[in-house]
Structure 1
């Protein structure tokens, strides 16, 4: 697959996922200029992707207006799995998946050779990734190319929270400075409505919350992205939202509380109440910090 064709297919997949997460039938998508900036591609690539979505009868164009008339389905996505990824990226994706699935837990040991075989990568790529990842305090080196998953302690949580607080409060402040016609405000409103729908049926839909949770925090970062912050925030977000020591026995109540807190600060944001939003968001971050401490092995 050529790089140009892969970029087009990747953009189509990103647009489809973006539509599924943030839009409802009848909504209008932003202009090509806004989409190009949002997804860091050219307007030409955006136009080709929009034309493709038209051919799938997902969008209908009328002049510059692009209206959503059908929700994307799984068969609409391109299979880009065969496109060659950097070996280190393959290792990272596989490693994080092992943690998220609970196959690597605190105290577990694993070898570079084992991880290389499982991720279809090289031991060199594995070693480079693990050395970089070890900076975050989640793993430590053992003799003979062995590694071990580390346990959390209170100091780790406190330090991680300090960085998260800095990044996310900065993101919220930047988001509140967006112009009123920014498409991100509409996406925020849609996310709040989805939160409300989950809360109305929390007994059966509490497992839907983590996806909304990630969507809110991702949206704040997307408002005015910073490539340096994004690199570190990926790991911070991973630890807070998917970390491997959570006790799921209290998941329903934890998600209920977090959803209420999300709605509290999102409603303040939509009212352009900067101070109210900052205070409500601070409360949410503190709750998340305490949840992480409660589930850490101290």
Structure 2
């Protein structure tokens, strides 16, 4: 979406919020000049926003007079959450979606300009994102702003596992030392329920697991933030859940097993069983490593 459309949508939302908080049905809205000054936008953008409110039957305009006909409701607002995300996050989400959909595979080449256009971001944001990922051997830089997806081998998996094991065990140990009244325990219990619910629908909803997996392992990191671990976990998540070498025919079985392993880990954590939780996490990490190794030798 263009920058102009983003400004327009945000202004509409701002106007609707202003109306909800300061107006009642039958009131007259301020002039275009006043609104433009108040919200720091052009009068042209204000006029387009008012026209939009007219199309929703919220406002009636006669000459310069604008009358509020009805109070706005939730469905009248634009969803602009996507536009508030950092550009690099937008690039990452689009890049991962290309891999999930099979549009990027080992050996495929792509350009910075192409990815920038597809993700509606800048080539600068794309380049920064790709450079960060290239440090881990997942992609490589070619001449003329071209990039290439890479295969990886068993040695890569072993090295990645060693670092992941170190970080995850550290985070688990810290989490289990949280005080009883920490809000993170409530988040963990909610995740336990989500996992239980998903486990009953794995035949049809198995593709929902990566989202839950990211929430669970992310929660372990969030309880004791460490910027270096957080950045590395983005790479781990990418490799283990959006890996372009996965055999999709076994995805349901892999995710079903992983859900049960998560349930076992979380259950032990909620019971404050430090030893049991550690062993359960050890088993889960080893399962993920062995699954990756199978794809590395295909």
Taking the TM superposition and a 5 Å limit, the aligned residue runs for 1:84-123 are: 87-123=87-123
Structure 2 match to 1:166: 166
Query: Match of 1:136, SS?
Result: coil
Alignment pair present for 1:79 and 2:110: no
Do the aligned partners of residues 290 and 140 (structure 1) sit closer, same or farther apart at CA in structure 2, a change above 3 Å counting? same
Q: Distance in 2 between matches of 1:112 and 1:225?
A: 32
Bigger Rg over Cα: 2
CA contact (8 A) 1:214 1:241 kept: no
Superposition deviation, residue 223 in structure 1: 1.5
1:101-154 per-residue CA deviation (whole Å, 9 max, x = no partner) reads 321111001123322333334444433332222101111122333211001211
CA-atom RMSD in angstroms = 2.8
Do the aligned partners of residues 76 and 183 (structure 1) sit closer, same or farther apart at CA in structure 2, a change above 3 Å counting? farther
Q: Distance in 1 between matches of 2:207 and 2:115?
A: 30
Q: Distance in 2 between matches of 1:198 and 1:122?
A: 37
Q: Distance in 2 between matches of 1:275 and 1:112?
A: 47
Superposition deviation, residue 201 in structure 1: 3.8
Do the aligned partners of residues 183 and 259 (structure 1) sit closer, same or farther apart at CA in structure 2, a change above 3 Å counting? same
Query: Match of 2:140, SS?
Result: strand
Q: Which runs of 5+ in 1 are unaligned?
A: 10-72
Alignment pair present for 1:272 and 2:272: yes
Taking the TM superposition and a 5 Å limit, the aligned residue runs for 1:33-52 are: none
Taking the TM superposition and a 5 Å limit, the aligned residue runs for 1:1-298 are: 78-83=79-84, 87-298=87-298
CA contact (8 A) 2:96 2:242 kept: no
When normalised by structure 1's length, the TM-score is: 0.68
Q: Distance in 2 between matches of 1:204 and 1:129?
A: 33
Q: Distance in 2 between matches of 1:190 and 1:184?
A: 10
Do the aligned partners of residues 208 and 99 (structure 1) sit closer, same or farther apart at CA in structure 2, a change above 3 Å counting? closer
Superposition deviation, residue 88 in structure 1: 4.2
Superposition deviation, residue 297 in structure 1: 4.7
Q: Which runs of 5+ in 2 are unaligned?
A: 1-5, 15-73
- State the aligned residue count: 230
CA contact (8 A) 2:265 2:281 kept: yes
Superposition deviation, residue 270 in structure 1: 1.0
Query: Match of 1:179, SS?
Result: coil
Query: Match of 2:222, SS?
Result: helix
Query: Match of 2:135, SS?
Result: helix
Q: Distance in 1 between matches of 2:246 and 2:256?
A: 16
When normalised by structure 2's length, the TM-score is: 0.68
Superposition deviation, residue 181 in structure 1: 1.3
Query: Match of 1:110, SS?
Result: strand
